[in-house]
Chain A
Amino acid sequence: MSTEATTPKPKKRDRIGVILYLLYVLLLIASLVLILRLAGIQLFWKPDPKIADALTPSNTVSVIEPARGNILDAEGRLLAISCPIYQFYMDCTVLKDTNTPEQEQAWLGKARQLAEGLAAEFGDKTADQYYKLIKDSRAAGKKYVRIGRPVDRNVYNRVIELPLFREGRYRSGMIVEQEHIRQYPYGKLARRTIGFVRNNKSQVTNTHIGLEGKFDYVLHGQEGREWMRVTDYGRVRNSDSAYVKAMDGKDLRITLNIDYQDIADKALREQITEEPDLEGACLVLMEVSTGAIRAMVNLVREDGTGPFEEIQNLAIGRKGEPGSVFKTVTLMSVLNDGFVRSLDETLPATNGNVAGTSIRDAHIPDFARQHKTNRISILDGFKISSNYVFATLAVKNYGIDKSKGRGKGLEKTERFLQNIYNYKLGEAFAFDLDGLQTPTIPSPATRYWTDTDLGSIGFGYSTEETPLHILTFYNAIANKGRMMKPYLVEDIEERGIVTERRGPAVLNAAVCSKAVADTITRALKAVTEEGTAKRLKDAKCAVAGKTGTSFGTYANGQYQDAQGRRKYQGTFVGFFPADAPQYSIICTVYSKPTGKQFQGGGIPARAIRTVIDKLYNIDPCFREQLKRNPTATTK
């Protein structure tokens, strides 16, 4: 502004000019007051916090929940999916204080109709009980009364259309809480293998079970974050604030074939449901060339006496003395080490005593009498599952050289045990489920080793193995010596695109030569054709396998209690078709102390027979192929 501005001569103001001038001055003063007031409010005035909170638009951070990934079977069918469930509550005091007596009567009339609808929908209370609940809660001023049980979307849609509820929450007092839960469309099939993740409300500390638990980091995804503010149009995302997108969980494609799982589950249940003395059973089906597990059934009695449910993974989590199925391990060991060249080699069959031990097999004298011989071949010993033959093979070829003194001469025994470790029967290899037990293999270097240990290892005692370890070993025989690692997760996918391929892996490239594998297969075929597993002889395809029965020990170290009852562990393990194996399979049953017998050739063999017969009809491997004649012409 120029300081040289000259003051113009005063003009005579007219009336309108004066009025306008006064108006101008008034507005000027008002604007000054406003400016001062604004400055005062901005700098010095502190509002009442309650009023400030009420008038300030809320800008709150909101967590965006990621969608949990699905679990798909080998054919892409959904095994686990997230769905919402709804729980109804009721604020019974709604409109209570404002209703006129007539309105109150009308409200209660609708409540009676609602009660009838609720009784019909939920079925847990009668209509009168529901009406009494609503009426009494209204009288008592209860604002959060639980109605019925959690329901799915279809029931939710029907309930919100019931009388009174259809008038909305402000007139009916209806409160709905939604929660996303995991649903398993195939129900109890493979529930323990698929597993679950308990939420934080659970009192149980073991919250991550099965594949859901182990791969929670993949399935869960990553939470997002957004800032929300309240506007005239409702609650909207604040576009000026940071926004972190939620990353949805990835899908898990697993190796289970739910059809095969269904067949295996049904076959096993058919065999065990009517056996009150059984406490559990498991059945695992594995693909020979890859180690992919196609079915894994684990059934345990609920609370010891209830129905069979998938509540414990016996196949990986319960180890026990495997019994005669371990004789194949001894056979492979002596064949690999060249101690036995042919299955037709013989051993003396006189009294059944194993030299240098207290082991005695009472069946040998019977065998000698029946066959009018004093020799028994290894093949015959395998067919009849002779403890004598395999204890003798172990002791004779791997016995401790006692001439070298105490604590020495263990080389041969340690070699046998090393073979067992090489067959991966002494370690808990990496598996797609937590809880794979480490087998127990005794060592001659410890003071717990006894003279009978080597012989009893030879026929499947003094060691503890899980069914999965045994199956992995037999699978290697079927795969001509190449031991595949059992696995359950094929790959991890994102919207149908594979982001991480897991697939097959080799545990031991050659546990034995092809010739040894063929020799053992011959022995295993003999078991199903003429031996202890004759139930499988007429299966739809040839089966090679071995039965095994062991007895659990009691606290006093005995194999039977005072009443002579035993705890059985009966197993059948094998593969099929015997000549070109596609699948290996194991079934183990566990009994309570019982006077009945649960041999490996009984329930396990019957269950496996059913599975094989059904699989044979539907598996693409067994389809017959007709070759089109290229010279044939059609008219």
Chain B
Amino acid sequence: MKTWKLADIGLFFKNSFQAVLRGEFLLRLNIGRYFIHIAYTFLLFGLAIWFSLMIETTMSKVEKNKAVLKELEIVHSQKVFEIVNVSRRSSVEQMLGELGSRVGEPDKPATTVKR
């Protein structure tokens, strides 16, 4: 059984360096065995980046839609305010009077039919 020596570390770095110079470093590591894993990792990185961009696009749409919704809410509240504003009993009576309508406040209580 081979025993390890301190000099082996130096030899390891020397061989690695020479392998790098020769362009054989990855071949010597036999990295081909892990090719599918490496490809998968790259795929994951790619997907992560793609999803991140998609999320960003969606979020920007969300922000735009929020702004549209806010505008609609403002318009709605303004309309509600205007409608309620003219529904005041005395205002309605006054407007009816100005329009020459004969409709006015009742002068006797309503009669209901009991079942």
Chain A residues packing against B (C-beta within 8 Å) = 1-3, 5, 7, 21, 24-25, 28, 77-78, 81-84, 152-154, 183, 185-187, 189, 231-237, 239, 258-259, 262-263, 266, 614, 616-619, 622-628
Whether B44 is near chain A, meaning CB under 8 Å from some CB there, is no
A236 near B60 with CB under 8 A, answer yes
Q: Is there contact, CB below 8 Å, between B114 and A626? A: yes
Tell which of A1, A28, A231 touches B28, judged by Cβ atoms closer than 8 Å. Answer: A1
The 0/1 profile, CB within 8 Å of A marked 1, for residues 9-20 of chain B is 001100110111
In the complex, the answer to whether A81 meets B80 with C-beta atoms within 8 Å is yes
Min C-beta distance of B42 to chain A, whole Å: 18
B87–A77 touching, CB < 8 Å:
yes
A83 to B74, Cβ gap below 8 A?
yes
- Known contacts A1-B28, A237-B62, A239-B59: A187-B88 contact under CB 8 Å: yes
B111 interface residue, CB < 8 Å from A? yes
What total of chain B residues lie within 8 Å of the partner, measured CB to CB?
A: 43
Chain B: CB-nearest residue to A8: B22
Please list the residues of chain B having a beta carbon within 8 angstroms of any beta carbon in chain A. Answer: 8, 11-12, 15-16, 18-21, 23, 28-29, 55-57, 59-60, 62-64, 74-75, 77-78, 80-81, 84-85, 87-90, 105-115
Known contacts A3-B8, A77-B84, A152-B78; decide if A234 and B112 are in contact (CB<8 Å).
no
Q: Tell me, rounded to whole Å, the shortest Cβ–Cβ distance linking A576 to chain B.
A: 13
CA distance A189 to B84 in the complex (A): 13
Q: What are the residues of chain B within 8 A of A237 when measuring CB–CB?
A: 59, 62-63
Inside 8 A of A625's CB, which chain B residues have their CB?
111-114
- Give bound CA distance, A78 to B82, whole Å: 11
CB of A231 within 8 A of CB of B60, answer yes
| Residues of B contacting A: mostly | helix
A3 touches B11 (CB 8 A): yes
Contact B112 A78 (CB under 8 A): no
The answer on a CB contact under 8 Å between B112 and A623 is: yes
The one of B55, B74, B88, B107 in contact with A186, judged by C-beta atoms closer than 8 angstroms, is B88
Q: Are A628 and B80 in contact (CB under 8 A)?
A: no
A233 touching B60, Cβ below 8 Å: yes
**A627 cross-chain contacts in B, Cβ below 8 A:** 113-114
Name which residue of chain B comes closest to A189, CB basis: B88
Contacts of B56 in A (CB 8 A): 231-233, 236
In the bound complex, what is the Cα–Cα distance between A259 and B28 (angstroms)?
Answer: 92
Q: Kindly state the separation between the CA atoms of A266 and B80 in the bound complex, as whole angstroms.
A: 24
Assess whether A266 is in contact with B90, with CB atoms less than 8 Å apart: yes
